[in-house]
Amino acid sequence: MAGLAACVLQGFDYVYYSFFAALLFGMAGLISCKRGSMRALRLPALAIALVSASTAINLTPAFLAWEKHGLPPEMGYKSIAESEIYGAKLRLMLSPHAANPIEPFGRIARKAAHANFPNENENTTARLGLYGALGLLIMILSVLRLGSGTPLKQPIGSISSLGLATLLVITVGGFGAVINVLSVPDIRAYNRFSVYLSFFSITAAGLWLQEKFRNAHPAGRVIGAVLLGCFMAFSLYDQLLDGANLRAHLAEDTLRVHDERAAVARLEHAFPAGASVLELPFTGYPPISTFNEMMSYDHGRPYLWSEHVKWSWPSFTRQHRTWQDKLNALHGADLVRAAALSGFDAIWLDRAAYKDQGREMLASLASGAAQQLDIGSKRYAILDIRKVAADLRAELGESEFRRQSSSLLGGGVLLAWKDGFYEEERNPEGRRFRWAKDAAALELRNPDDVDLDVCAAFDIASPNDGAVQIEGAKQPLNVQTSGVRQPVRLALEVDAGKKTALRFLTSLPRLDAPGDPRSLQFYVMDLDVSSKPKSEHREAFCSK
């Protein structure tokens, strides 16, 4: 009962380990199932059902949001091939640490490190340690001895079978990659499954040593205990070498934490509970790039020390991303005004994201009624924009202020680039575009309660001569391409709570781009989608 209760709790934890747990239960059921009997499958099937049910309950709010607003932007960054990139490697799991001063362990590890094996990433931290490596070898040898007719003692036999099955799933080119090919690529970093393999390995080593000690002479037990204690201490030392990088940055990280905590404390002292803070620069999620010296998740750090203010990062919905794109196109006083209309009380700026330490950005934002506060931080700057909001309310009146705020924050159609389009790029002039395959789709979703007239305007082009057919509007449209961008305006209707798609089809030849594995047929540039409540003048709305 305790194990089944743990299955329920696991479903409300990180989905990676819920997935791994379900895989383990399935493997355990198959290993224990006897010919002609299905009874051994009942308990693992129940365990899988409980983990799956609690996981589904945990993710229900996300499923409902995705149904209404579409999948979060930028969440399609995972690929099937990454199961090979982030898979575990037997060599790395068995390897000692390269900094181990005891030869030949350190020499072996350094030789492997200098061999420039491909795809060495976070899987280098999946080392089992020398004690765990011993256990893994014991499990492998135990299973291999079955071929000689030697029966396996329990429970080491079951543990060895589970360990080997786990290894076959998580290794590069293993069943994990097969699962991703047959399903979805969302679970891809199979090296993280090594914590289960580590448990099996340590347990197997312990059971094997226990058997050896049981049959040993009393004097041999004493000698064996001393040798084993030394080996365990050496193995632990080798594992602790992985913390050297963390310890090297401890002083720097500690100073940074103190600086962040102090800055957030002064911010919260200056603003009432529930105040909203806009974080600059705007970054997407998942954050897969850096901005100057600002690292990927740095916008999440102030939240860790915050007690009672709200933060704008990250962007998990297309509606949020649409709003963010609007503000990201603004500068100076216009950006401050838009932030005030959006309901923010303050702007938090990370100077590390800018090559000039944010001096130009701060100068543009701090003009007018926006007031920079002294929070005693060299890295972070705070602007109080409450007076900007108050002045706008006095200037516009409450009704007009709310109307402009509503227009800025919500409403309108939401856009999703679907299969066939590649990630956004920018040309030297800063114009945004996306390459596409011979078949691609663009989804338009209406989350509002009213029907919308929609106008999609963009340029379409290809270096090769041919045509691109666009379906989804009232009439299919053929756009001729000849190296010159062709402007396109399409009028559509999207009913309340519904979605529609623009489909792009072409027989254009693939662009000859040496070294680029993508299939590039054409590109779409400067996409702009506008909408308004449905009327009889949709064509006129889109002809402007």
**Domains of the chain, CATH where assigned:** 2-243 (no CATH), 252-409 (no CATH), 414-542 (2.60.40)
Residue 411 confidence (pLDDT): 66
- Residue 538: pLDDT band by 50, 70, 90 thresholds? low
**Res 179 pLDDT > 60:** yes
**Res 540 pLDDT > 70:** no
Which residue has better confidence, 133 or 289?
133
- Residue 544: pLDDT band by 50, 70, 90 thresholds? low
Per the listing, tokens 């949020």 go with 320
Which residue has better confidence, 339 or 324?
339
CA distances from 486 to 55, 326, 500, 505 (A): 48, 25, 23, 16
Residues 127-146 have a mean pLDDT of 91
Inter-axis angle of helices 218-240 and 129-144, to 10 degrees?
A: 120
What is the spatial distance between Cα 26 and Cα 166, in angstroms, rounded to a whole number?
A: 11
Q: At 323, phi and psi to the nearest 5?
A: -65, -45
- Residue 361: pLDDT band by 50, 70, 90 thresholds? very high
SS3 177: helix
Which residue has better confidence, 364 or 286?
364
Q: In what order do the strands lie in the sheet with 371-373?
A: 310-311, 276-280, 346-350, 380-384, 371-373
Mean pLDDT for all residues in the chain:
89
**Res 423 pLDDT > 70:** yes
- Residue 249: pLDDT band by 50, 70, 90 thresholds? very high
- Residue 438: pLDDT band by 50, 70, 90 thresholds? very high
Q: In what order do the strands lie in the sheet with 414-417?
A: 414-417, 439-445, 499-506, 466-471, 477-481
Q: In what order do the strands lie in the sheet with 486-494?
A: 425-426, 432-436, 522-533, 452-461, 486-494
Which residue has better confidence, 91 or 70?
91
**Res 467 pLDDT > 60:** yes
SS3 214: helix
Residue 214 confidence (pLDDT): 85
**Res 288 pLDDT > 70:** no
- Tell me what percent of the residues of the chain surpass a pLDDT of 70: 97
Q: What are the residues facing 461 on neighbouring strands? A: 523
Residue 355 confidence (pLDDT): 93
**Res 75 pLDDT > 80:** no
**Res 375 pLDDT > 70:** yes
What is the spatial distance between Cα 461 and Cα 233, in angstroms, rounded to a whole number?
A: 65
Non-local CB neighbours of 504 within 8 Å, separated by 6+ positions: 420, 436, 439, 440, 441, 442, 468, 469, 470, 522, 524
Tell me: cis bond preceding 185? Omega within 30 of 0 counts.
Answer: no
Tens-digit pLDDT profile for residues 23-45: 999 999 988 887 667 777 889 99
Instruction: List own/partner pairs for 252-260 with CB under 8 A and 24 or more apart.
Output: 259/377, 259/378, 259/379, 259/380, 260/301, 260/302, 260/304, 260/305, 260/377, 260/380
Which residue has better confidence, 482 or 509?
509
Residue 209 confidence (pLDDT): 92
Residue 539 confidence (pLDDT): 58
- 459 and 524 Cβ atoms separated by less than 8 Å: yes
Smallest Cα–Cα separation from 492: which of 478, 472, 510, 512? 472
Residue 163 confidence (pLDDT): 94
Residue 134 confidence (pLDDT): 95
